[in-house]
Each structure stands twice: as C-alpha cells, then as structure tokens.
Structure 1
Amino acid sequence: MWTRLPSSALRLTGADRVDFVQGQMTNDLRGAPTPGVVACCFLNVRGQIEFFARAYKREDDVYLHLDAGQAEALAARLRRYIIFDQVDVQDVTGELRTVHVWGGQPVPGWNESGGDAQSFELGGGTVLAGRVNRTGTPGLDLHYLARQEAEVLAALGGEETPLNVLDGARVQAGLPDVTRDGFVGTLPQEVGLDVGGPLPAISYRKGCYVGQEIMARLEARGNAHYHLARLSGEGLPDRAEVTRGGKVVGQAGLHAGGLSLARLRKELAPGEQVEVGGVPATVQPLTPAPADA
C-alpha cells in the first residue's frame, strides 16, 4: 500500500546550510545524525506556525519536505534572513515526487535496522526515504525524481491507496497534518506538536529561532489553553469553528472516517457535546499514536 502525497520541497546548499536553517526552525537539526530527519515548524514572532516541514540532513544539503504549495513562500521567508550566510535556497518542487509507503510494507533497498533517513537505489534511480508515521504505524516517505516516477512505482509494487483513506487512518491515530487540517496560525503546543505529543516538532534546548521566546514561556508556564482533541459526528465540515453554547471553543481540521481532529479548549471533557460549523459533534479521547520520526 502506498499513497501519493501532494508535496513541495526546498533544497538548501552551502557551507552554512545547517546552522542557517537551525536558526529558523523549532527542532534540533544540528543534533540529528547525518543522514537524519526531524519534524519541525517555522514560526512567526508570536510563536504561531507558518510552515510545517520534515527536514532531512544529508552530507551535501538540507532537504525540506513540505505540503503542496508551501515551498515558494518558505523560500521567500528564508531568503529574507540570509545576510552573510553561505547558503543557497532552491525550490525543487517541480523536480520531485513523494509517496508514503504504509507501515508493514517491504521496500527493496530499505534497511529496517538502519537510521530514519536512508538513500538507496530503486527503479534505476536513487530515492531518499524517511521513516515517518502518518497512519499510526511508522511507514516510509519516498522522495524521487519526477522523471523516474513510473520506474520507481513499478519497482515498489503494491497498490495505490487514495489520500482520503490515509487521512482517515491518521485522524483515527490522532496524528495532525498542519496544512491539511488548517492548523497554520496556531501554537505548536495546541495541535499536538509539543514534546510528548503525537507529532513532536520542538526542541526546548536547541537555541534561538524566530518565535523561540514564546515557546520558552509556554514551556515554563505550561499555560496553553488549547490542546489537540478528536471529534466524532456525521458530515462534519472541514476546517470549521467548533462552538459550545454559541461560544467558539476551538477549530476542527479535516473530517475523515467519521472523525475530525481539533484544536479545542482544554476544559472540554470527552463525551461533551459541541458543534462544528453548526453540525453536532462529540468530544472523544485522543488515543496516543507512536511518535513520528
């Protein structure tokens, strides 16, 4: 089973590439192995998410894998911060494609006992693979050249599974997707991206970055008023306001498989009734999923 992922991508090269992106992102790329992969956010000065990415640290570059339509804006942001840094930012979206291979599916060339990021030959070309949890069971994101897609998919074998099925599995597993769920503009702690959350994307020990002061304050005080929750209901609208008694108490993400993930006020307990865009829904406990790579 594999699923095509709507994606965009940046490639950073130059002697200062790791230190430069380290100073922009929430997680610790410098401390990752080479090769390695970490989930991360790029925040604004208020600590709110502007972009979510998975950053691959390699010998010659840093590869940032993003959701579709994100690379151009992130590239523009990064370039604004380049002053004396020896770093080049390239948008390689048009050259690459990505699929997620569901957990438990063998992939020729992948070393199960190896690191979380590996490169190997598949279908006559080199693919970059990262161990990523998108369904509740860690699988692989495979990144490859667009011109080699037919050969890569033929060598991979198996059946293509639609994106909406993957969305249903990840929502059931309690795994947010910042872009698809519409959680851009929220604090990472509010949508499951904190240390110990289902998709940890923060290091509180890595040093300064844009928005870091807000993250340090939240770590010290622990006073985020929202957290990631799950809602059940029929026909819930996507990315709609959550209300209770006419008061806005949260924001729902993508509806899939009869469930939605939501940024929800912490005082709402499982079993309480709310409305998503006027449609009745029930607050459900969020089953912890294995941590993402």
Structure 2
Amino acid sequence: MLRPVVVGLDGSRESLAAADWAAREALLRGLPLRLVHAWQAWSPEESRLPELDAPRFWARRILRDAMDRISERHPQVYLSAEQISRPAPEALISAGAEAELLVLGSQAFSGFGGFMAGSVALATVAHVPRPVILVRADETAEAEHMPDADGRPSADGSYREVVVGVDAAHPCEEMLAFAFESAALRSTSLLAVHSSHLSSAYGHVPGTANGKAEAAHALASALRPWREKYPAVSVRELVESGRPAQLLLNAAADAGLLVVGRRIRPTRLGAQTGPVAHAVMHHVRCPVAIVPHE
C-alpha cells in the first residue's frame, strides 16, 4: 500500500502554500495526497445555537476550500481529506507516522526574511518518525524553478538545486536517501555541505588544512555509495570552516529544497529537533525537509 503525502491544514496562507507544495510533490512521487485538519469540537453533536456551530462550520470549510483549490490546480493528484477531532500536534503526529512525508506551513518573520516554526510545527517535527517538510506562505511553483531566459519567474524551467547538510563522521543514511531521491525526482543537482569544524573527530585541529582535507575525504566517502546508486544526479561537495547552521543558511540561499537530519534521541525534556535543524527551520527561505534518523 502506498503511503500518502500528508499535509496539515489550519486555513492560513502558510498551510495553503504547504498544500500546493504537497500536491506537486505527490505528483512527482506518484503518491496520493491526504489533507488533514485537526479540530476539537465542544460536542460531537451539532448545536441549535448558531454561535456554537460557527467553529464547526469554519473547520469544515477549511477542508472544503482546500480540496477545491487542489482539485482545480492539480486535477491529476489522487486526493482525500480528513477532519480529526484531536489536538493539532497529536493529530499531525499520528497522521505523519502513516505518511511518506508530512508537509506543514511555517509562519514568516516580519523583518528577517526567514520563517519560524510555531509551537504546533515544533512539537510535530520533534515527534513524527517520517520526514517533515516546512513550507513558507510565499512558496510557489515558480520559486522551485530557475527563472526563464529573460530572468522572469517561471514554473517551466529546471528545478533549483537540492542542498543537504552532512555530518561526514556520522552520515545519516535516511537523510542522504531522501536528498538523493529528491534531486533525482527533480532532475537537478545536489549540493552536499559539511563543516570542517567537525573535523576534530578525524584527529586534526578543526579548520586547519589537514582537518579540512580529512573532512573532504570523509564527505566523499559518505557520498560514494549514493553517487553509485543515483548516477544521474550531479553532486557538488562543499567543505568549509564555520558553524554548520550558518553554512547551510548560506548554501540554501538559492536552493529549491534543504534537507537536514534530526537524531531520534529523547531526553528528559522530551524529543528535540537539534540545534542545526532548529536554526534552519527558523531562517531558511526555501522549503526545509527534516529527516529523522537513529
């Protein structure tokens, strides 16, 4: 049975952009699309008081309007929808566990050019065992592609590059698989980014020539089996000295998708997203895929 692409809806511009992105991704992957809206009613029964039934009406309208929007824009996608009577994080975590990937909208900052993940998105990302993609409100099909010959936005050009952050000392197979597959589906190149600040694991001082050379060798070794599995994907490797999150922010400035990992490592404070994933979730402009791994 095919796992669907699932998108969480709340009626916001961000979630509608996420639904559009999810529909395009479902078509790329040949998967069905499932729209999910979480809403807790005061009572399972409809009320005779209009003011009590108003929230129920708007909750139903969120799904209906989104289905109409997707059906009109992406008529080829196999579409279903469900309203779940549970708190949003619980509903999304449950739906995400059964998905190929879960897509959520993220709220834009007013003045910093990035986006932030609200409490629902943060809680969901930290617990869903499948890849979660965060999408900004201004994300469009044109933004995923390179401009046309005249420099104008176009959805017909080649896809922008996929960027993946790699800890070469502890490569994440699930994350690399997702990144290579995403690049292959888009017939685009992949940029693998690694910080030589992590090179102390190889026995050299981070940032030195030896440390950087060892880091480059480790990155090439981590990527080699995936290059062989996806020979059509053109791969660039970037090893620089600096904080991993900042390197990824710079590398993803013109990307179509950024892929990072999230180690599944519950603590006394509950599941965490990790510092690098947390930073890029808040500041990268393009869609961000957070892939959980052991």
TM-score in terms of structure 1 length: 0.28
- Structure with the higher strand share, 1 or 2: 1
The two structures have a TM-score, normalised by structure 2, of 0.28
Rg bigger for which structure?
Answer: 2
